[in-house]
A and B are shown apart, each in its own frame.
Chain A
Amino acid sequence: KQEVTQIPAALSVPEGENLVLNCSFTDSAIYNLQWFRQDPGKGLTSLLLIQSSQREQTSGRLNASLDKSSGRSTLYIAASQPGDSATYLCAPGSRGSASKIIFGSGTRLSIRP
């Protein structure tokens, strides 16, 4: 059974810093891995999708890497802004037609102006 751990659970940094969010998963037989953002009381916004054959994906100030063999992914946020404050969720997707994804507990990020 896939288990997903995200470290740190919470992070508060001043605006402008570069930061790294970590995700580890126990079953490396994944199809892909997604990073999501969730604002308080809201739904999820997909940030980046990495296929199992890929090593990283970039979108603007965000870069996500994937090391499938070691069961790790990182989300790098460059030049952080107060608008980046949210909970970030890592979700590896299982193989097979079900396309089920399992969520980590998330990292609650606060960027101080």
Chain B
Amino acid sequence: SAVISQKPSRDICQRGTSLTIQCQVDSQVTMMFWYRQQPGQSLTLIATANQGSEATYESGFVIDKFPISRPNLTFSTLTVSNMSPEDSSIYLCSVTGRNNEQFFGPGTRLTVL
């Protein structure tokens, strides 16, 4: 299984600011994903982070709000831009390993005041 780390683990931010979340994997992986988990809810896929090209966003999520970088096969960032209290969530990255099994990072807990 892949070992995934995320930074920061948590943050409290002011309305209107932006936060960049980092995801680092201990091995090269093809597929990386970003998810959001709003309070009391299940996980919703934000986008697939593609190495060498733009991310693929799911319905309801746009690049201007959630820009994603994927400079290599072990690292990705998700930025939450112009934050509002509604963006308060846990943000998780995941990767696909052998047999298409998915593994998740520990998550970043974001609170927007």
* Chain A residues in the interface with B (C-beta under 8 A): 31-32, 34, 36, 41-46, 49, 51, 89, 91, 93, 98-106
Contacts of A99 in B (CB 8 A): 31, 96, 100, 102
Interface residue B48 (Cβ < 8 Å from any Cβ of A)? yes
Q: Report B33 CB to chain A, min CB distance, Å.
A: 7
Complex Cα distance A87/B48, Å? 25
A31 and B99 alpha carbons, distance in the complex (Å): 10
A100-B48 contact in complex given A31-B100, A46-B103, C-beta closer than 8 Å = yes
CB distance from A85 to the nearest CB of B (A): 17
On chain B, which size bracket covers the interface?
20 to 34
- By a CB distance below 8 angstroms, the chain A residues around B48 are 98, 100
Partner of B1, one of A36, A46, A100, A105: A46
A89 near B106: Cβ-Cβ < 8 Å: no
User: Quick check: A44 and B42 within 8 Å, CB to CB?
Assistant: no
Query: B92 contacts which chain A residues (CB < 8 A)?
Result: 43-44
Q: How far is the CA of A32 from the CA of B98 in the complex (A)?
A: 12
Given A44-B104, A51-B99: A89 in contact with B42 (beta carbons within 8 A): yes
Kindly provide the distance from the CB of A107 to the nearest chain B CB, expressed in whole angstroms: 11
The DSSP consensus for interface residues of chain A is strand
Interchain CB contact under 8 A, B107 and A101 = no
Name the contact of A93 in the complex, choosing from B43, B56, B100 (C-beta under 8 A).
Answer: B100
Say yes or no: B107 contacts A43, CB within 8 Å.
yes
CB distance from B18 to the nearest CB of A (A): 23
Chain B window 41-77, contacts with chain A (Cβ cutoff 8 Å), 1 for yes, 0 for no: 1111100100000001000000000000000000000
Q: How far is the CA of A93 from the CA of B103 in the complex (A)?
A: 13
Query: Assuming A42-B107, A98-B48, A100-B48, is B42 touching A32 (CB within 8 A)?
Result: no
B42 partner, pick from A34, A93, A106, beta carbons under 8 A: A106
